[in-house]
């Protein structure tokens, strides 16, 4: 291959390919290269793109066509690219130009594949030129027969970037270059077709809009000549507002919006927003209210017929009715007055009838009932509504509930109020503060309506599972009514009077075809479900009746399901009393706790192992419960003699306290006395009585402090088969709320000192007693 020595001209742009004729503005280095080339015999130089970090690998042999100056007076030259060449090395030469030794690259003879690729590229280029009506260039392209020269024509294409042109320069193989430009040209044509389609659609849309505008103007003129009004337009809304029974301020606001609608053109998007707002205002029942029932005994009878027990709630509703009836008799009702609404929050575990109680309250009052589900609501606008400036704006759930009820004084049930969350969109619980405050909600303002709405006559009922999850400011505006769950006798009565008739109807059975005895219902409630409510109990009844329906399809005659028959209908019992088994070894005590699902028993296990003295806690315990364990261990160590611990060396080993059901998070101080009892049992080797449960916070001095949820804990103790429960002395007044049957079934012993509790809770000395040496391993 012939080696040539030529001056090199580096340019930032454009990228020159063989066959291209381009003008180049020269700097000092470029001027030196052109001068050196002009001084040579063949008037040739190298031109290549300038790179930031190195010399390029390829250049183009170019002939100087013309030298001159730009209109601005700068030196310039016109070059014609001739042939690719590979740069080999720098060499010395005359002048200040950069001289390079290069190897020219000859194009291979075209084969069939090359000819095919060239024809495909030529067709794409001609199609693009014809689409743009560039007919003057078509002949020039058709005259190019060499495939390599045809590929290099891409240097003139505006849609190919400089980096792509450099890639073409550095691709000496003709086939590879043709494949590159074919791909780029296809992409360009596809993109151009999409752009043209979009532009055509935009033009068509604009033309259609203009045409519709002209037609509407002509139609309006024709209607005006005929004396006809706009159908369903501003005139229609003006008549509807004037005919509607609206409060004065609401009427003024509505008429202002009607005026805006009359001035707005049909193409103004605000016209649609105004119509939607007016429709919402006109649909609200501004002066529609139901008359409350004044039959107090009748209302109480409705509550008793719908729900068993729940006397606190029924008493509160009955009191509310009685006061309203008395105020009505004496003419003391004030329309839109403050404080006339009732706000109750029903807190209790699932399945005790909180939600269904709202419907019963509405029936007792003779009011409409609306349920608003708040579980998972995180947007403040769900309560207060969206501003009308937002696309898709809607009034809040309170306003929608009023509209749905068709009355200004419905019973609104705010379900799962403890499940309300907050995020960057605001805090819905904070928006509920005004809604649920009887002193403020007579002027509640929804963001969408932007009008005062009187909610003072609405009866709000809220439901929650956990009172601690309700913000304190919100809880302060409501009256708290606690539903702690049902006793075994109450569950049997509910199943017999409410659940069984409902499930019989759903299974298409009658009481003559199947009978469940009270013993069967009691066993279902005791050994098949351990829940404070009756939801799971109803599911089991439905399961049993489905099997009954299947049997009656093959057999005839009534079926009686007794306790002994339950295994055939609902399977084996899921729960059996296990406190005796769990506490048969020292170091295990039975505590009582309250969760979101109601009361439950909590076994606490203590063990001593070899290792560095200290305390290990397991069972996914919260910080407060961990501190209770530290306090319990400190108390037992400091009062070992008083607690009857003969050998304190057990407490000097590594103590491990575990609370089973490790997958469930646990926290709270009420397990303090249980931990002290478990540690004392471990150290003395005396097991804890299997029939004993306990609850209470303990101090470092051994005092038993009061706790919450006494009723739920006693219900859980009764369900678990315990007979004796130790509670703090200061919780003794809470026993007044516990049903009499629970107090009869349990021996409740108030305790002020944990030492006295331990003395009564541990098995007597000598009965199944283990020695302190093997107490750790026994546990």
Catalytic residue numbers read 670, 713
Shortest CA distance to 468 belongs to which of 412, 424, 419? 419
- Secondary structure letter of residue 666 according to DSSP: B
> At 16, which helix (H) or strand (E)?
none
Tell me the C-alpha to C-alpha distance, in Å, between residue 743 and each of 363, 733, 748: 34, 13, 7
- 46 — phi, psi (to 5°)? -105, 135
Q: According to the annotation, is 336 in a ligand binding site?
A: no
Taking the chain, what is the end-to-end CA distance rounded to the nearest angstrom? 95
Give the span between the Cα atoms of 639 and 637, in whole angstroms: 6
544 burial class (0-12, 13-18, 19+ CB within 10 angstroms)?
buried
Please say whether the beta carbons of 532 and 597 come within 8 A: yes
- The answer to whether 628 and 672 have CB atoms below 8 angstroms apart is yes
Residue 383, C-beta contacts closer than 8 angstroms, at least 6 positions apart: 377, 396, 397, 398, 428, 431, 432, 435
Query: Which CB contacts under 8 angstroms, 24+ apart, belong to 435-438?
Result: 435/383, 435/398, 435/460, 436/343, 436/460, 436/462, 436/474, 436/477, 436/478, 437/477, 438/338, 438/339, 438/340, 438/341, 438/342, 438/343, 438/477
121 contacts: CB under 8 Å, gap ≥ 6? 150, 151, 178, 181, 182, 185
Instruction: For Cα atoms 418, 422, 427, give the angle at the middle one, nearest 5 degrees.
Output: 90
Is 354 annotated to bind a ligand? Reply is yes
Nearest residue to 456 via CA among 370, 296, 372, 333: 333
CA–CA dist 296, 317 (Å, integer): 10
Distance, in Å, from the CA atom of 695 to the CA atom of 711, rounded to the nearest integer, reads 12
Check if the beta carbon of residue 545 is closer than 8 Å to that of residue 360: no
Residues 6+ positions from 62 with CB-CB distance below 8 Å: 9, 16, 44, 45, 46, 47, 79, 80, 81, 82
Is the bond leading into 14 cis (omega within 30 degrees of zero)?
yes
247 is in an annotated binding site: no
Q: Is 375 annotated as a binding residue?
A: no
User: Are 459 and 341 spatial neighbours (Cβ–Cβ below 8 Å)?
Assistant: yes
Spatial distance between the Cα atoms of 123 and 522, rounded to a whole number of angstroms: 89
H/E stretch holding 512 reads none
Quickly list DSSP for 283-324.
HS-TT--PPPP--HHHHHHHHHHH-SS-HHHHHHHHHHHHHH
What is the rounded CA–CA span in Å between residue 438 and residue 549? 52
Strands (E), 674-723: 692-694, 697-698, 704-705
Cα–Cα distance list, 28 to 10, 35, 759 (Å): 11, 11, 106
Query: Rounded to whole angstroms, how far apart are CA atoms 717 and 671?
Result: 14
Is 355 one of the annotated binding-site residues? Answer: yes
Contact 505, 538 (CB under 8 A): no
Q: How far apart are CA 448 and CA 440, in angstroms?
A: 19
Residue 158: closest CA among 134, 175, 123, 194? 134
> How far is it, in rounded angstroms, from Cα 179 to Cα 167?
12
Q: Cα separation of 323 and 365, whole Å?
A: 13
Provide the β-strand partners of residue 77. 24, 67
348 annotated among ligand-binding-site residues: yes
Give, in degrees to the nearest 5, the angle at Cα 442 between 440 and 447.
85
**Which residue numbers belong to the known binding site for ATP?**
348-355
**Which residue numbers belong to the known binding site?**
348-355
């Amino acid at each position: 291959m012939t080696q040539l020595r030529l001056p090199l001209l580096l340019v930032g742009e454009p990228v020159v390919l063989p066959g291209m004729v381009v003008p180049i503005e020269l700097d000092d280095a470029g001027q030196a290269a052109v001068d050196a080339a002009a001084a040579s015999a063949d008037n040739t130089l190298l031109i290549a793109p300038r790179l930031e970090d190195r010399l390029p690998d390829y250049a183009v042999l170019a002939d100087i066509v013309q030298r001159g100056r730009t209109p601005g007076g700068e030196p310039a030259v016109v070059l014609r690219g001739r042939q690719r060449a590979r740069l080999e090395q720098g060499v010395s030469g005359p002048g200040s130009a950069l001289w390079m030794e290069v190897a020219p690259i000859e194009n291979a003879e075209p084969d069939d594949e090359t000819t095919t690729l060239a024809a495909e590229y030529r067709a794409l280029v001609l199609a693009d030129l014809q689409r743009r009506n560039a007919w003057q260039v078509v002949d020039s392209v058709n005259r190019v027969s060499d495939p390599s020269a045809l590929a290099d024509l891409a240097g003139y294409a505006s849609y190919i970037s400089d980096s792509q042109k450099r890639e073409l320069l550095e691709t000496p193989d003709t086939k590879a270059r043709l494949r590159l430009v074919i791909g780029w040209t296809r992409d360009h044509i596809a993109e151009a077709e999409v752009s043209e389609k979009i532009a055509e659609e935009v033009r068509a849309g604009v033309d259609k809009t203009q045409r519709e505008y002209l037609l509407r103007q002509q139609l309006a003129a024709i209607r005006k000549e005929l004396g006809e009004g706009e159908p369903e337009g501003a005139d229609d809304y003006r008549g509807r507002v004037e005919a509607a029974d609206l409060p004065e301020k609401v009427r003024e606001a509505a008429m202002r919006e009607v005026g805006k609608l009359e001035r707005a053109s049909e193409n103004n998007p605000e016209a649609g927003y105004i119509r939607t707002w007016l429709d919402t205002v006109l649909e609200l029942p501004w002066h529609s209210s139901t008359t409350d029932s004044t039959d107090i005994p009748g209302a109480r009878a409705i509550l008793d017929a719908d729900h068993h027990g729940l006397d606190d709630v029924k008493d509160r509703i009955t009191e509310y009715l009685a006061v309203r009836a008395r105020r009505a008799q004496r003419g003391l009702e004030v329309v839109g007055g403050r404080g006339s609404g009732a706000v109750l929050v029903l807190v209790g575990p699932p399945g005790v009838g909180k939600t269904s109680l709202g419907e019963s309250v509405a029936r007792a009052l003779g009011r409409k009932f609306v349920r608003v589900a708040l579980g998972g609501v995180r947007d403040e606008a769900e309560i207060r509504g969206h501003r009308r400036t937002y696309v898709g704006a809607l009034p809040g759930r309170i306003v929608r509930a009023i509209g749905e009820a068709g009355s200004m004084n419905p019973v609104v049930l705010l379900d799962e109020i403890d499940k309300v969350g907050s995020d960057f969109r605001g805090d819905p619980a904070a928006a509920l503060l005004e809604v649920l405050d009887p002193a403020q909600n007579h002027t509640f303002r929804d963001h969408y309506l932007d009008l005062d709405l009187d909610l003072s006559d609405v009866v709000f009922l809220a439901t929650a599972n956990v009172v601690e999850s309700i913000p304190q400011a919100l809880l302060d505006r409501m009256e708290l009514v606690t539903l702690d769950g049902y006793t075994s006798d109450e569950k049997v009565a509910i199943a017999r009077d409410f659940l069984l008739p409902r499930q019989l109807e759903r299974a298409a059975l009658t009481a003559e075809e199947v009978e469940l005895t009270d013993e069967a219902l009691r066993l279902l409630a005791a050994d098949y479900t351990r829940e404070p409510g009756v939801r799971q109990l109803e599911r089991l009844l439905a399961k049993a009746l489905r099997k009954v329906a299947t049997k009656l399809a093959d057999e005839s005659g009534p079926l009686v399901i007794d306790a002994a028959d339950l295994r055939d209908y609902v399977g084996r019992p899921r729960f059996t009393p296990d406190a005796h088994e769990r506490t048969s070894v020292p170091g295990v005590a039975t505590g009582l706790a309250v969760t979101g699902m109601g009361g439950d028993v909590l076994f606490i296990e203590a063990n001593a192992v070899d290792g560095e003295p200290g305390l290990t806690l397991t069972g996914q315990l919260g910080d407060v419960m961990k501190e209770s364990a530290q306090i319990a261990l400190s108390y037992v160590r400091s009062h070992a003699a008083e607690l009857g611990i003969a050998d304190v060396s057990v407490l000097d080993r590594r103590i491990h306290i575990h609370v089973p059901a490790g997958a469930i998070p646990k926290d709270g101080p009420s397990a303090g006395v249980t931990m002290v009892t478990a540690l004392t049992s471990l150290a003395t080797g005396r097991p804890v009585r299997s029939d004993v449960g306990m609850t209470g916070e303990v101090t470092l001095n051994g005092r038993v402090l009061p706790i919450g949820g006494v009723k739920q804990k006693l219900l859980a103790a009764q369900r678990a088969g315990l007979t004796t429960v130790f509670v703090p002395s200061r919780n003794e007044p809470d026993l007044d709320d516990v049903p009499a049957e629970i107090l009869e079934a349990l021996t409740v012993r108030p305790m002020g000192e944990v030492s006295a509790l331990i003395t009564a809770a541990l098995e007597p000395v000598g009965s199944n007693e283990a020695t302190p040496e093997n107490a750790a391993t026994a546990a």
